[in-house]
Structure 1
Amino acid sequence: MGVQPRTWARIALASVLAALSIGTGVDSAAADPNPVPTTVKSPDGSYVAKVEVKDQRNWRIYIGSAAMDAFIPVDVLRPADTSVPRPTLYLLNGAGGGEDDATWQRNTDAMQFLSDKDVNVVQPIGGQWSFYTDWQRDDPVLGPNKWKTYIAEELPPLIDAQLGANGVNSMAGLSMSGTSVLNFAIDYPGKWRSVAVYSGIAQVSDPIGQRMVKLTVETWGGGDTRNMWGPNDSPLWRANDPLLQAEKLRGTNLFISTGTGIPGAYDIPGNKFRMEDPEDTPTTVVVGAVIEAGVNWSTHNMQQRLNELNIPATFVYRDTGTHSWGYWQDDLHTSWPVLAQGLYSAP
């Protein structure tokens, strides 16, 4: 996101003029190497600044976000058949925000798995360590963060217009973004008809939950959670706690999964899903085991709360597994029937 908005504005204008000069349009985007950005704008004035076509099915769209005052890339996998409007799956990355190597594309078969599902797959890029929420103040390290406004309010109308989508959405996320996925469903009822959470923290306002959030934002990200949700006793922590707001999940198709923290098949040094060097795997697995054990605890608490509220949900508890990609690939596959229920079934 280091490119200045005015620079992208000039690039976008040049792209539009070039496209118009040869008579192209969104309807011919499958054959057009440079699709024209839609003229649709979000309510706050956000817009599509540029569209890059990597190949017929893989696009990168740049959004001029009013909330973030920046141009933000979005990776898109188009369905094989775009002859009719298709639904959209918003697939969020973890704490790295898709800006590092910890992404669905690099570490799983997610794109191959979803390639025959007749769905637009949208991956926002950015938001490291932010929990994809609207922060109260700009952070000296992490900068401005208005990700909830960007993802939930600015992005969907632009994506629908640019891709010719049908307005039906579901969302999935892992680790940090698992918390965010639950909060998006809570704060925007009906906007995401199904949500899937893989190893996400389901409660954040109690001392253990706060410690896990601070581990992400402060220890790893270098930010300050007081700029996000305020001091520990701020009501914003409770307002953003999925467990406490669980009643608002009623009506959403829910899938929530977690491991136990006990190392399993994907935690062996040299396994294809390991990101670290083999000599670092034992240490990394220990850290992942502790995180996953905390996630498991909060997931059981969420299941108990949903049962009390008589809200149906699909929970998957794996016998083994730390906080790592091999398990999330499996969970994505397992969650597909729940996601599909929201994407393809009548409301």
Structure 2
Amino acid sequence: MIAGAIGGLLLREIPGPLLHGLASGEYRLFGSTIRQAANGRIVGFLQEAAPRALQSGNPVLAPVSIAADLGQLVQGELIRAGVKRLEAGMAVLQTLGAANLAVSAAGLGVSLVGFAVMSARIEAVRQAVSALPDQIADVGRKIDQIQQDAVDLEFVEIQALARSADEAWRLSDVAAESRWREVARAALHHQARFELRADRMLAGDARRYALADPFLDALALTAALRVSALIASNESQAAREAAADGARSLERLTGGLGLADLSRIEQRKSDAPPGTRQWALAQACANEAVRDTVRKMRQREAAALTRAAPLADLAQRGVTPRDWLAQVRAETEAPVLVMLADR
């Protein structure tokens, strides 16, 4: 089914005019919001849905690369479920240009895609962290086995939190609220630890960004889990503050990094004399080489900043956050839904 109206709120597939506007440049995607390019006004809030194929915890869902395309993940699961509207869903993701963001630790909106996909995200970040020792050896540092075991245990605990949050939807209201609040408290603890790890890896040096990136993903993921748990328990103000807290953490760590910083580091790999045609070509190549990395940084920051963006509109419409999330969870076909902004 396509999500319908709840309490006067229309939650639906992304309409054609918005998709066309995104393609033409009339609108732009910022985190989980669609905005008018001319003035930045929000016209819609995007939210990952949870088609039942993705809620099922299907054991065939293997861990995916953090840079994998959500389209591939959804495609495999929806084909298994026999959903016929796959091509339309894939076209939406491609038009949004949001596939990588949707499957990454940043996600789109609130983390509701079910434990199977959430677990795959966590595992992808864990694998990225596990690959760090070889890179660190190149800069004269080391992660010993004790440290690695501690990090692995932390990811196991986050997976347990994600499972606990997902199971809460099947509990009574009182028990569910208590569970989600416990998840939010624990997620804050892990968020702070990953922020510290990312800070130490980066150490204020853009040359070390690749070492910090997996921990930044882990920070974004645990911050998202924290916000999701608070929204599910109808703690709107706390959810807004948690979203702002996560965004501030990422902004502090990577807000000052940009294309020029990473491109300069990449270009140092070339021995072309400055001012020459070869140097200009090397600079262009360096820019292109780091463009996706910079885009990921900005998307991660924007996703954190807009995580709780729909809550004000929900309050104006008299819809509780949990009812909104429950409606999203009931979606069986579309991988991404939109709530049009209250005008």
TM-score normalised by L of structure 1: 0.32
Q: Which has the higher contact order (CA 8 A, sep 6+)?
A: 2
Q: Which has the higher helix share?
A: 2
Higher share of residues assigned strand: 1
